[in-house]
Structure formats: C-alpha cells, structure tokens
Amino acid sequence: MSESVILRPARPEDATKAAELIYTTGPKSFNLAFGSYDRAIALIRRMFAEQDTIMSFNQATVAEFEGQTVGVLVLLDRKIERRTQARTGVELLKLSGPLFILFRFPVYLRQGRLILPIPPDTLFIADVAVSANFQGKGIGRLLMKHAESVAVQKDYTSLCLDVAKDNFPAISLYKRLGYIRIFEATDPWFNMRFGLSGFQRMSKRI
C-alpha cells in the first residue's frame, strides 16, 4: 500500500487533520501541558497553520492516500528550534491567556527538565504519526525514510527523536530502522499523578 502513498510538503489547510495526528503522538503530555483535549487540538492546529512555530507546516510533510491525509512528519533542527520559540510562546499566550500560562508554569518547568536540546548537526523528528486506520501498512516507515533522505540532502550527521517509554510499537519500529536509545528521562511525580512513564531519546547516525 505504501507504494500508493504520496508524500508532499504540508500546507496551512492541512492544520485540522495534522493537529489530530500530532496529538496522538503524546495525548497525556499534550493534556498535561495545555489542560484538555480541546485546548491542545486548538493550539496545535493554530501553530501548524502559522509560519515559524515549533509545529509549523513549514517543517512538515504529509502522507496522502487517495486524497486523504493519513500521516504527518515534522522535522526540526537546533536553529529552527531556537528561532521558533518566541512565536510559539506568543501563540500559546494568545490562545490560553496569561492566567492559564502562569498557573501551568510549574508544570512547564518540570516538563522542560525531561527534554534534551537538539544536538548540533542533527535533524530532530519532532512528530511522526499515522492515522489509526492506516497503521501497519508501511506509512510510518515511509515517513521515517523520508526523514533520512532530508537529513542526507542537508548534510546532517544524525537523526534523533523522543518517544514515550511505554510506546512499544513505535520503539520497536525505530529499533528496526537502526535507532538506538541514548538517554532516558523519568519523573516519578508525573508518572504517579498523570500516568506519564517518561521518554527515551533515540538516535541514528547517517
């Protein structure tokens, strides 16, 4: 089936479907950060449709099958991450308001301690997701291979990604593609309170 899938650069009008897909990569984390499913979806959709945010269509590729968006891939590097931080913060403030941000600030600080910076000369796979009805058909592998092609074209020396420790199907796929675990982050309080098992940073040299 993957032979019939088309990969193309994302567009702002992909934001609604892309937001739903991106949300599936970490619903517990998104709900923790943004308070609810509806707020998370609204924020992801808004950031995807805007230029120069951490989830912008500028950095995304979508997979299409018979005109239907069935997958999404978002790629970042160190420069993009730094450049988009301010705009991302502005969009979060617009949507959520200052009181919400102030209330959630301790959570953001705690979450931030679990996240490693993007290393130099590394392409970071920020999000990769496939619609539930199309999983197991090679689309995730196709998107991951596309990320490798981009990395080679742009002279990165490695790729890396973060994955939830309990996302065993994804971890299994990444291992088969040659990724190895280089770091693991866990917060017992998050695990006990919200069921967040923590993250693995996985990397692959190219």
Question: Per-residue pLDDT tens for 89-113?
Answer: 887 888 778 887 777 777 777 777 7
| Neighbouring residues of 31: CB distance < 8 A, sequence distance ≥ 6 | 37, 40
Amino acid at 197: S
Count of all residues that appear for the chain in the document? 206
**pLDDT of residue 12 exceeding 80:** yes
Lowest mean pLDDT among 105-109, 167-171, 174-178: 105-109
Q: Contact, 54 vs 88, CB < 8 A?
A: yes
Of 13-27, 150-164, 182-196, which gets the smallest average pLDDT? 182-196
Amino acid 16: pLDDT? 97
- Two structure tokens written together for 11: 């567009």
% of the chain with per-residue pLDDT over 70: 99
Compute how many other C-beta atoms are within 10 angstroms of the C-beta atom of residue 198: 15
DSSP letter, residue 114: T
This prediction has a pTM of 0.91
Output the pLDDT for position 14: 97
> Which range, 109-113, 135-139, 147-151, 170-174, has the best average confidence (pLDDT)?
147-151
The superfamily (CATH) of domain 2-205 is Gcn5-related N-acetyltransferase (GNAT) (3.40.630.30)
Written as six digits, the tokens of 177 are 């593609």
Q: Which amino acid is at 83?
A: R
What is the DSSP track for 28-54? HHHHHHHSSHHHHHHHHHHHHHSSSST
Over range 6-26, report the average pLDDT. Answer: 96
Sheet with 60-65, side-by-side order of all strands:
6-9, 60-65, 68-76, 122-130, 158-164, 199-205, 180-185
pLDDT at 103: 76
Written as six digits, the tokens of 198 are 């923590």
